[in-house]
């Protein structure tokens, strides 16, 4: 049996703790998964997993072998890459990103990458909830956050700036009863729109050396940024929006940039991948491409 495939099966079972799940993720039958694990145990002369009817766990020998097998598999991948004299990237990449970032920024970046690498195929999963990279066999996640998931590894590839925005119609109407918004604390009196995926609706703003954390009143919360900005356009309240979405509407006059002298806390755009998987040349190339593209195309 192919020892490289057997090593891949072993690593996947170690991650998933399930022969059935590995069978689905690697698109092979469950008996074949069992055969590959049996072959690995025969080659290594050790038992790799404790198996019961309810769960699978690594033995102490399996734990000891895991890191070495991961390193061996990475070396095998590197040798394959060196043997490819054309240097042409190929294969399928699975990517996940938020809906709004996917539409506005990722699509044009991916288009230029695929023109450069015609042998690469890409499967894109757009969702604002956090995807399980191992469960969904995702190669690369693009996430906007202040702190990435500590169970994943990766790098920040761009800064995501935000702005406070409101429709001119809502602002004119609210001013009549609530007065002018001259300071972040004035936001407490206004209707604000919340992004549901944030743990709390506290907006952090700074001006020079002044810092304010405002617990805003959010009667409406939405789990997707594109819908949130359309609610803002429709006069439902004030929202905190990434500049890659808001700048267009500010330039068109459809949204008003509120408190421009106060800067919301910057977030980072992270390229993340599972720490248990070696990074393929195609994924490395895509990360570099995205970083360069976003630097060359500021929003």
pLDDT digits (tens, 9 = 90+) for 9-30: 999 999 889 998 888 888 788 8
Note the residue count of the chain.
299
Looking at the chain, which residues constitute the CATH 1.10.10.10 domain(s)? 3-83
Within 8 A by CB and 6+ apart from 77, the residues are 278, 280
Question: pTM to 2 decimals?
Answer: 0.71
* 180, 190 Cβ separation under 8 angstroms: no
Question: What dotted CATH number matches 162-265?
Answer: 3.40.190.10
Q: Starting at the edge strand that comes first in sequence, how are the strands of the sheet with 218-222 ordered?
A: 218-222, 192-195, 238-242, 162-166, 256-258
- What pLDDT was estimated at residue 80? 59
Domain 3-83 classified CATH 2.40.50.500? no
pLDDT single digits (tens) 154-212: 889 999 999 999 999 999 999 999 999 999 999 999 999 999 877 678 999 999 989 99
Q: How confident is the model at residue 121 (pLDDT cuts 50, 70, 90)?
A: very high
The residue ranges of DSSP E strands in 173-236, in sequence order, are 192-195, 202-207, 210-215, 218-222
* Homologous superfamily assigned to 91-158+269-296: Periplasmic binding protein-like II (3.40.190.10)
Delimiting residues of CATH 3.40.190.10 domain(s) in the chain: 91-158+269-296, 162-265
152-160 and 140-145 as β-strands: parallel, antiparallel, unpaired? unpaired
């Amino acid at each position: 049996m192919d020892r490289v495939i057997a090593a891949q099966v072993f690593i996947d079972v170690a991650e998933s703790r399930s022969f059935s799940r590995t069978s689905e993720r690697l698109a092979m039958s469950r008996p074949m998964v069992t055969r590959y694990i049996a072959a690995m145990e025969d080659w290594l002369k050790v038992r790799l997993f404790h198996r019961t009817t309810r769960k699978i766990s690594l033995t102490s020998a399996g734990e000891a072998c895991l890191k070495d097998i991961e390193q061996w598999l990475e070396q095998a991948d590197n040798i394959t890459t060196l043997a490819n004299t054309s240097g042409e990237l190929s294969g399928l990449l699975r990517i996940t990103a938020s809906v709004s970032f996917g539409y506005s920024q990722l699509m044009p970046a991916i288009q230029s990458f695929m023109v450069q690498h015609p042998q690469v195929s890409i499967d894109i999963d757009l969702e604002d909830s956090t995807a399980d990279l191992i469960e969904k066999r995702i190669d690369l996640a693009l996430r906007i956050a202040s702190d990435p998931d500590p169970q994943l590894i990766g790098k920040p590839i761009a800064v995501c700036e935000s702005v406070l925005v409101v429709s001119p119609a809502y602002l004119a109407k609210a001013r009549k009863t609530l007065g002018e918004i001259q300071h972040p604390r004035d936001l407490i009196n206004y209707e604000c729109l919340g992004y549901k995926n944030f743990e709390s609706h506290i907006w952090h703003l700074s001006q020079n050396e002044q810092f304010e954390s405002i617990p805003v009143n959010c009667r409406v919360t939405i789990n997707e940024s594109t819908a949130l900005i359309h609610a803002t356009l429709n006069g439902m309240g004030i929202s905190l929006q990434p500049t890659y979405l808001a700048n267009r509407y500010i330039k068109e006059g459809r949204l008003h940039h509120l408190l421009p002298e106060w800067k919301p806390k910057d977030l980072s755009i992270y390229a993340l991948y599972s720490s248990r998987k070696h990074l393929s040349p195609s994924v490395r190339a895509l990360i570099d491409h995205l970083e360069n593209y976003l630097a060359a195309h500021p929003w």
